[in-house]
Amino acid sequence: MKVEKIMVIGAGQMGSGIAQVCAEAGYSVLLNDLKAEFVERGLGVIGKNLARQVEKGRLTTTQKEEILGRIAASSDIQDSRGADLVIEAAIENMEVKTKLFAQLDELAPDHAILATNTSSLPITEIAAATRRPEKVIGMHFMNPVPVMKLVEIIRGLATADEVYQTIESITERIGKVPVEVEDFPGFVSNRILMPMINEAIFTLYEGVASKEAIDEVMKLGMNHPMGPLTLADFIGLDTCLYIMETLHEGFGDDKYRPCPLLRKYVKAGWLGRKSGRGFYSYE
Ligand code: CAA
Q: What is the pLDDT of residues 29-84, one digit of tens each?
A: 999 999 999 999 999 999 999 999 999 999 999 999 999 999 999 999 999 999 99
Domain end marker among 114, 147, 182: 182
Q: Is the ipTM of this complex over 0.85?
A: yes
Distance between CA atoms of residues 181 and 187, nearest Å: 6
- Residue nearest atom 1 in ligand 1 by C-alpha distance: 144
Looking at the structure, tell me whether residues 46 and 114 fall in a common domain.
yes
Domain end marker among 163, 182, 201: 182
Residue stretches of the annotated binding site: 10-15, 33, 92, 97, 119, 143, 274
Looking at the structure, tell me whether residues 155 and 244 fall in a common domain.
no
Looking at the structure, tell me whether residues 46 and 62 fall in a common domain.
yes
Nearest to 148 by CA among 5, 14, 11: 14
Q: Measure 204 CA to ligand 1 centroid, in angstroms.
A: 24
Looking at the structure, tell me whether residues 64 and 121 fall in a common domain.
yes
What is the enclosing helix (H) or strand (E) of 21?
helix 13-24
Distance between CA atoms of residues 129 and 157, nearest Å: 13
- Residue nearest atom 51 in ligand 1 by C-alpha distance: 142
Work out how many domains the chain is built from and give that number.
Answer: 2
80 included as an active-site residue: no
Is residue 211 within 8 Å of residue 229, measured between CB atoms? yes
- The residue to mutate among 24, 147, 190, 226, having the most atoms of ligand 1 within 8 angstroms of its beta carbon, is 147
Strands laid side by side in the 71-74 sheet: 71-74, 28-32, 5-9, 85-88, 113-116, 136-141, 150-155, 177-181
Distance between CA atoms of residues 189 and 115, nearest Å: 18
* 159 belongs to a structural domain: yes
* 282 belongs to a structural domain: no
Domain range for 178: 5-182
* 283 belongs to a structural domain: no
Q: What is the pLDDT of residues 243-262, one digit of tens each?
A: 999 999 999 999 999 999 99
- Stretches in the chain below the pLDDT threshold 70: none
* 197 belongs to a structural domain: yes
Q: Measure 254 CA to ligand 1 centroid, in angstroms.
A: 32
